[in-house]
Structure 1
Amino acid sequence: MAAPTSNPPVPENGKNADMYKYRSPLVSRYASPEMAYNFSEVKKFSTWRKLWLWLAKGQQTLGLDVSNEQIKEMEANLENIDFEMAAAEEKKRRHDVMAHVYTFAQCCPKAAPIIHLGATSCYVGDNTDLIVMKDALSILLPRLARCIQRLAVFAEEHKALPTLGFTHYQPAQLTTVGKRACLWISDLCMDLRNLTRAKDDLRFRGVKGTTGTQASFLALFEGNGEKVDMLDAFVTNQAGFPKSYMVTGQTYSRKIDVDVLSALASLGASVHKICTDIRLLANLKEVEEPFEKDQIGSSAMPYKRNPMRSERCCSLARHLTTLVMDPLQTLSVQWFERTLDDSANRRICIAEAFLTADVLLSTLQNISEGMVVYLKVIERHILQELPFMATENMIVAMVKAGGSRQDCHEHIRTLSQEAAAVVKQEGGDNDLVARVRGSAYFAPIHDQLDKLLDPTTFVGRAPEQVTNFLEAEVKPALKPFASFLDGISELSL
């Protein structure tokens, strides 16, 4: 086999140029336009320019020599970014911030002397990251709320539908389809709280200088600390944050990245659990994710209906849950006021965490809006196991009719083992009830058997639990997001 060429092929006339280089599937295949833009170069570098503008405005307001003409020139060029010039400058200077200071200055010659005045690179870098993370959380939260609402509709619809419960993936006491969905919703509600808290806890780095002491700004204002505080507050307010971090090094603490990505990783684990359950239910043919009319389940086996959306969620969720290790490691090795070994890592893990979470929620919404429940299959599985579960009820009924518990237990034990052998060894249906009906010993309760085998009497308080949970916890959690939920009046479920 030939070795890889050192000179990769070049597209003819630039046609399909993007196809000749790696593209992240998170953007090219999956993520929403909103989230993809949020982590774009345009968003990043236009935000840098806004930060330089806000800094200049604040300095002007507090008495430094910054003219209205310089301010207007900056305002007119916030998105007039010459990316080719910036790339060339960065290649020459080996410094991305100074490359963009230079590029901004070229289209703002009058403002050039005061752009980035008193600031360090982290003034634009860290503050932009905080803005982008806050905006990303604002994109995710309504989408998470929408998934919760869609699953809540499903839970309400099926709150009283009995189904086999499973512990250790072995048939256990009955639950309901809606109650199981509430287990999923409960986890997602915790994620909603976690992401809301992460967003609300975010502060701004503000103007803190090279090691966080604000020394450069103190010099600009000739030792007037009050003006330095006012500048910090001004820029923080312009960026839409109520507070800035009171103490920082050159960077904001990388523990903040840990906090945010931990919440995202937790969301990933929740979605993985939900979609694993759906994959298992699809194997049982009890519940399936949506399957389009022309969708192909397998290239080799045309009859298959693979749960590909749930599989995608599990695949991407594994990636999301591992990404939190990056900020954990980064935080642990930040030396003193900062070290630059955080930079390249953060460019990847923060964006990928949010992009992946975005994909998970859009896919989970699609799944939750079109899940199909197969009632007859569920009923058949219940009938395979319910007679065994009803044996205690049969014993109690026989005792009430005058029988001995020990004798009843022995008769039931014998008939149960015979019926189990038919199921396991011969592949037949569970005929325990037929055996009980055919036993003269159990004649006193023959007319009670249908009632004793009613699946709705085996689900406990599951239907009431669904109703109470949706009313007491889910509706209040969704209320702040009512405007994003299809205009649903009073968040009716």
Structure 2
Amino acid sequence: MPALPPQPISPLDGRYRAAVSALGDHLSEAGLNRARVHVEVEWLIYLTSHSMFGSSPLESEHVQQLRAFAANFGDLEINALAEIEAKTRHDVKAVEYLIRGELDRLGLGAIAELTHFACTSEDINNLSYAITVKAAVTQIWLPKLRHVVEKLAALAEHHKDAAMLSRTHGQPATPTTMGKELAVFVYRLQRVIAQLEASEYLGKFSGATGTFAAHLAADPGADWPLISREFVEGLGLTWNPLTTQIESHDWQAELYGRAAHANRILHNLATDIWTYISLGYFRQIPVPGATGSSTMPHKINPIRFENAEANLELSSALLDALSATLVTSRLQRDLTDSTTQRNIGVAFGHSLLALDNLERGLGEIALDEGALAADLDGNWEVLAEAIQTVIRAEVVAGRSTIADPYAVLKDLTRGHRVGPAELAEFVQGLEIGDEAKARLIALTPARYIGVAPALLRYLG
């Protein structure tokens, strides 16, 4: 059998590429290298703009050219970098040599030794990862999450009065509304989004073991911690003053933990929607040309929600692994984080794919209010809670002497189907006030929803 041409191993780079490709601009090897070039160039510009070691500020044209070189990092630079790395066997050193080559091309060879000055590889890497992860999360993943939540909030508002039977423990229970149940997920996700929006993206820039030793040897009079802070904050990051060779990655563990939390809430949403579909509460809207089953023509399978479930599980597993692994480093440095961090894009890719499926799935369902009404009408025994609670209140008010109202209703309804006529007859015979009796007789399962529609006002 002839060998196939090179194929992607991950489905994110194959079957699902269209849904997640935007992450590749940041959370890919090329995206990381572009960020590395950006950091190296900005450090060079910083040093020369402060006339460090007798250098002079670069002409504005040269500054623009260097920044354009970083911003326009593309196929040409990717290939050139690959050729250099094939010789250096070191990715960050290859970036340094690539920039030195650009300096020579621009006639700036005299300042070439300021490239990667006093830096360890991790000074460049940790800032590059912080830049790329921040961009991917804030520009791509979070906006997609917000959009799904907005769509869910619109559905919650639209169905806020749609009474339905609850299913605590999978059994008929006190009615609610579909809108209120969807709003629960909106509220949960809004809280996590607020936490994600408050995330810090930390960076260190302090040399081989975080002591500024080489920096101080080169210029004992400079305030290197201040210089480091200015540089890191100038990149839009939060400065970490106390590190080993690496930035400790605690911010990453926090971020990935919150992202995994969001994933799990979304997973809960997917399983609930799937269950509502199986109960007939939601009908799936046929997509023209789509096939549900290869043998059963009638079927419309809830594949969007099933796909989302699977991808959220994969994403959460990877995010959990990242969180657990990245917070530990042997003494001042080991390389366990290097391989681990190369999977950040995979973790967010599976989550982004899940969000895409949830967004589509939520747009392909319609509430069957007839099914909701029929289910409510078949379960009048759920009013037992209301009746026994009203009796308790009547006993406290001195209008009833019924002993153990809960037991009375339990005997009437537990394991039994009770219809409206039977309940009305039962209520008529109760020793309670006329007003309470009238309220209970007027109650139906569809009306027994408390203040469910009004609770949506608590959404952000």
Could you tell me the TM-score, scaled by structure 2's length? 0.83
Instruction: Give the Cα–Cα distance (whole angstroms) in 2 for the partners of residues 203 and 170 of structure 1.
Output: 48
Instruction: Give the Cα–Cα distance (whole angstroms) in 2 for the partners of residues 263 and 395 of structure 1.
Output: 40
Of the candidates 15, 26, 29, which is equivalent to residue 12 of structure 2? 26
Residue in 2 that maps onto 1:235: 231
Q: 1:250-301, CA deviations, whole angstroms, 9 ceiling, x for partnerless residues?
A: 1111222211110111011000000100011111010245542332221122
Residue in 1 that maps onto 2:341: 346
- Confirm or deny that 1:53 pairs with 2:41: yes
Residue in 1 that maps onto 2:201: 202
Aligned 8 A contact 1:165 1:171 in 2: yes
Residue in 1 that maps onto 2:118: 118
> In the alignment, residue 262 of structure 1 is paired with which amino acid?
G
Residue in 2 that maps onto 1:433: 420
Residue in 1 that maps onto 2:242: 247
Residue in 2 that maps onto 1:97: 92
Instruction: Give the Cα–Cα distance (whole angstroms) in 2 for the partners of residues 146 and 189 of structure 1.
Output: 11
C-alpha displacement of 1:345: 1.4
> In the alignment, residue 203 of structure 1 is paired with which amino acid?
L
Of the candidates 210, 213, 233, which is equivalent to residue 211 of structure 2? 213
Change (3 A) 1:451 1:442: closer
C-alpha displacement of 1:160: 1.9
Change (3 A) 1:289 1:181: farther
Q: Structure 2 regions of 5+ residues with no counterpart?
A: none
Q: 1:389-409, CA deviations, whole angstroms, 9 ceiling, x for partnerless residues?
A: 358649979x99x99969x99
Aligned 8 A contact 2:24 2:31 in 1: no
Instruction: Give the Cα–Cα distance (whole angstroms) in 1 for the partners of residues 263 and 145 of structure 2.
Output: 12
C-alpha displacement of 1:210: 1.0
C-alpha displacement of 1:451: 4.8
Of the candidates 370, 375, 385, which is equivalent to residue 381 of structure 1? 375
Residue in 2 that maps onto 1:360: 354
Instruction: Give the Cα–Cα distance (whole angstroms) in 1 for the partners of residues 256 and 4 of structure 2.
Output: 38
RMSD of Structure 2 on Structure 1 (CA): 3.5
- Confirm or deny that 1:188 pairs with 2:189: yes
Residue in 2 that maps onto 1:478: none
Q: 1:119-139, CA deviations, whole angstroms, 9 ceiling, x for partnerless residues?
A: 111122110100011112212
Aligned 8 A contact 1:265 1:324 in 2: yes
SS at match of 1:372: strand
> In the alignment, residue 152 of structure 1 is paired with which amino acid?
A
Instruction: Give the Cα–Cα distance (whole angstroms) in 1 for the partners of residues 334 and 411 of structure 2.
Output: 73
Residue in 2 that maps onto 1:223: 220
Aligned 8 A contact 1:278 1:288 in 2: no
Q: 1:203-226, CA deviations, whole angstroms, 9 ceiling, x for partnerless residues?
A: 332x21111111222233x20232
Instruction: Give the Cα–Cα distance (whole angstroms) in 1 for the partners of residues 229 and 408 of structure 2.
Output: 81
SS at match of 1:168: helix
SS at match of 2:330: coil
Q: 1:68-93, CA deviations, whole angstroms, 9 ceiling, x for partnerless residues?
A: 26756634532264333322332332
SS at match of 1:364: helix
Aligned 8 A contact 1:264 1:320 in 2: no
More divergent stretch after superposition (207-216 vs 321-330): 321-330
Instruction: Give the Cα–Cα distance (whole angstroms) in 2 for the partners of residues 388 and 232 of structure 1.
Output: 65
SS at match of 2:155: helix
Residue in 1 that maps onto 2:148: 147
Change (3 A) 1:184 1:290: farther
Aligned 8 A contact 2:165 2:176 in 1: yes
Aligned 8 A contact 2:166 2:172 in 1: yes
Q: 1:139-190, CA deviations, whole angstroms, 9 ceiling, x for partnerless residues?
A: 2333222222222222122212211112111111111111111111121112
Instruction: Give the Cα–Cα distance (whole angstroms) in 1 for the partners of residues 7 and 410 of structure 2.
Output: 68
Change (3 A) 1:216 1:450: same
Instruction: Give the Cα–Cα distance (whole angstroms) in 2 for the partners of residues 394 and 212 of structure 1.
Output: 68
C-alpha displacement of 1:457: 3.1
Instruction: Give the Cα–Cα distance (whole angstroms) in 2 for the partners of residues 262 and 443 of structure 1.
Output: 54
Instruction: Give the Cα–Cα distance (whole angstroms) in 1 for the partners of residues 264 and 221 of structure 2.
Output: 50
> In the alignment, residue 298 of structure 2 is paired with which amino acid?
Y
SS at match of 1:163: strand
C-alpha displacement of 1:388: 5.2
> In the alignment, residue 81 of structure 2 is paired with which amino acid?
A
Change (3 A) 1:454 1:90: same
Residue in 2 that maps onto 1:74: 66
Instruction: Give the Cα–Cα distance (whole angstroms) in 2 for the partners of residues 161 and 449 of structure 1.
Output: 21
Instruction: Give the Cα–Cα distance (whole angstroms) in 2 for the partners of residues 383 and 280 of structure 1.
Output: 20
Pairing of 1:165-180 with structure 2 (within 5 A): 165-180=166-181
Aligned 8 A contact 2:40 2:96 in 1: no
Q: 1:442-488, CA deviations, whole angstroms, 9 ceiling, x for partnerless residues?
A: 7999x979954523431112122223x13xxx1xxxxxxxxxxxxxx
Aligned 8 A contact 1:58 1:231 in 2: no
Aligned 8 A contact 1:62 1:231 in 2: no
- Confirm or deny that 1:158 pairs with 2:146: no
C-alpha displacement of 1:38: 1.8
SS at match of 1:108: helix
C-alpha displacement of 1:246: 1.4
Change (3 A) 1:456 1:141: same
Change (3 A) 1:404 1:365: same
Aligned 8 A contact 2:256 2:323 in 1: no
Aligned 8 A contact 1:54 1:238 in 2: no
Of the candidates 438, 451, 454, which is equivalent to residue 464 of structure 1? 454
Change (3 A) 1:393 1:341: closer
Q: Structure 1 regions of 5+ residues with no counterpart?
A: 12-19, 421-429, 475-493
Change (3 A) 1:465 1:395: closer
C-alpha displacement of 1:230: 4.4
Residue in 2 that maps onto 1:337: 332
Q: 1:399-421, CA deviations, whole angstroms, 9 ceiling, x for partnerless residues?
A: 99x99969x9999888858x94x
Aligned 8 A contact 1:255 1:327 in 2: no
Instruction: Give the Cα–Cα distance (whole angstroms) in 1 for the partners of residues 99 and 360 of structure 2.
Output: 43
Aligned 8 A contact 1:254 1:330 in 2: no
